[in-house]
Structure 1
Amino acid sequence: MMFERFTPGARTVMVYAQEHARRLGHHYIGCEHLLLALVSTDQPANSVLREHGVTPARIEEEIVHLIGLGAGSPPFGALDRDALASIGIDLDAVCARIEESFGPEALTRAGKNGRRGSRPSRLNPRRGIPPGLVRHWRRRRRTRHTLLTARPPAPAGLYQAAGARTTGHIPFTDRAKETLADAVREAQARHDPHIDTGHLALGLIANKGGLVPSLLSALDASAPALRAAIVDRYRRAG
């Protein structure tokens, strides 16, 4: 996905979606997270959604009602507690002893230090890699860094999953990727040079499967009516 073409508002939606997924303990970014992030920002298309009752609070309530909260990111990741218990290892007791000896959140700090230490070394263009390709990769890294770090704080939500928040990369679901592709196609159809929150809204509303139709239905929001209102708002703004 060419995030370089996303407006600052659209990039904020991507970041908010990631933060909402972390807060809810979900290990993926789905269309439901994109929709929650979209209505959490102050943009013209998002105002249309809120005017039709599609608000952050109501969307989050429905997400939690439909799929619940995740388990967050436990200190020892995906280790099988039952299997370890069968050989006499109590993970809860281990965690308690570590924090007793090294202080609260010692495991969290250790995990962060471990991830920093495992970062791969930078590419060296003199090792047979074409300089032009290295420059391309560096541009992409700078863009991704800007997307993930130069951002306003995500708005607070109603729910918080138990346990530490998931860290590292959270992948988009296939449906979410297709929704972003739909947003790009919406921009192309209108000959718009950039992808903004209006295109993202239209891409989400176009969903025929997944949670978005169920979320809109629960809020008595008609997808065709929302699309018409968004298109009309942008027409009048243009």
Structure 2
Amino acid sequence: MMFERFTPDTRTVVVHTQEHARRLGHHYIGPEHLLLALVSTDQPAGAVLREHGVTPEGVEEEIVRLVGLGGGSRLFGTLDRDALASVGIDIDAVRARIEESFGPEALARADSAAHHGPRSSRRGPRRGLPTTLVRHWRRRRGVRRPALTSPTPAPTGLHRATGARPGGHIRFSSRAKESLANTVREAQARRDSYIGVEHLTLGLIAMPSGLVPSVLSALGTSAPALRTAITDRYRQAS
């Protein structure tokens, strides 16, 4: 029901979010990918972000600096960097040591082996399940999760991961789902019957942890300042 209330512009942002994650070689969609899609939109919320120094180029550079490119980024992308730093674990140092010892593609190779396994293990129906049941389950899954299609060309950016990019549907991380829950609450608080780009942006910058606060801080702004500016911009437009 939530996605049915998304405006066409909001749906496009979600589609572009997945395309950004795929272009960067990430096997998940995090709040940082939502931010990257939002700063590129021509909606008022995107304009406010850019006016406060949150540009597509700046956001992407921070994502690559904090998470990296390619399949190996999944090994670190969902971790709480600040929490690990508080106990003396520097994710960037860990990544550098691994790639120094095993090469720049070591993380991508490890990620592929850990999450995909031998190619033969992914062929055919699941052992012990009737073929007809498996086919029925696949059809039902296809109905429940329709693929979103973008009316505009796929977004571009500064970076592109080398090697094969993630295919198929890319899942939202727990923090991305949390930001979407915030989005619904923003729309409900304003008693809006739709979910627009402004709700998506306000719900995203309300995230207290994860990469988004770090990215905003690195680009010289803060969630409270952005919230005030976005709210004022939409109030003036109404």
d(CA) in 1 for partners of 2:161, 2:64: 10
The TM-score, its normalising length taken from structure 2, stands at: 0.71
The TM-score, its normalising length taken from structure 1, stands at: 0.71
1:39–1:50 Cα contact (<8 Å) kept: yes
d(CA) in 2 for partners of 1:25, 1:221: 27
d(CA) in 2 for partners of 1:53, 1:223: 13
Report 1:93-112 matches (<5 A): none
Letter in 1 for 2:210: G
d(CA) in 1 for partners of 2:66, 2:112: 24
Between structure 1 and structure 2, the one with the greater Rg is 1
Q: What per-residue deviation string (whole Å, max 9, x for no partner) do you get for residues 177-234 of structure 1?
A: 0100101100000010111110011011101100000000000012111000000011
> How far off its partner does 1:149 sit?
2.0
- Structure 2 spans left out of the alignment, 5+ residues: 73-107, 125-133
2:216–2:223 Cα contact (<8 Å) kept: yes
d(CA) in 1 for partners of 2:8, 2:230: 19
- Structure 1 spans left out of the alignment, 5+ residues: 85-110, 125-133
Q: What per-residue deviation string (whole Å, max 9, x for no partner) do you get for residues 69-108 of structure 1?
A: 1238x89x8347xx99xxxxxxxxxxxxxxxxxxxxxxxx
d(CA) in 1 for partners of 2:205, 2:155: 22
d(CA) in 2 for partners of 1:123, 1:60: 35
In the other structure, the counterpart of 2:15 is: 15
Report 1:177-196 matches (<5 A): 177-196=177-196
In the other structure, the counterpart of 1:48 is: 48
> How far off its partner does 1:23 sit?
0.6
d(CA) in 2 for partners of 1:208, 1:161: 29
1:24–1:161 Cα contact (<8 Å) kept: yes
> How far off its partner does 1:56 sit?
0.5
In the other structure, the counterpart of 2:217 is: 217
d(CA) in 1 for partners of 2:237, 2:53: 22
In the other structure, the counterpart of 2:135 is: 120
d(CA) in 1 for partners of 2:34, 2:3: 15
> How far off its partner does 1:30 sit?
0.2
Q: Is it true that 1:163 corresponds to 2:163 in the alignment?
A: yes
Letter in 2 for 1:78: S
> How far off its partner does 1:165 sit?
1.1
1:71–1:162 Cα contact (<8 Å) kept: no
1:71/1:49 CA distance change after superposition, 3 Å: same
> How far off its partner does 1:150 sit?
4.2
Q: 3-state DSSP class of the match of 1:78?
A: helix
d(CA) in 2 for partners of 1:61, 1:123: 38
In the other structure, the counterpart of 1:95 is: none
In the other structure, the counterpart of 1:104 is: none
Q: What per-residue deviation string (whole Å, max 9, x for no partner) do you get for residues 132-170 of structure 1?
A: xx9xx95x55xx33xx22431222110010111110121
1:38/1:123 CA distance change after superposition, 3 Å: closer
> How far off its partner does 1:121 sit?
5.0
Number of corresponding residues? 191
In the other structure, the counterpart of 1:4 is: 4
d(CA) in 2 for partners of 1:122, 1:63: 36
Q: Is it true that 1:78 corresponds to 2:138 in the alignment?
A: no
Q: Is it true that 1:151 corresponds to 2:151 in the alignment?
A: yes
1:7/1:79 CA distance change after superposition, 3 Å: same
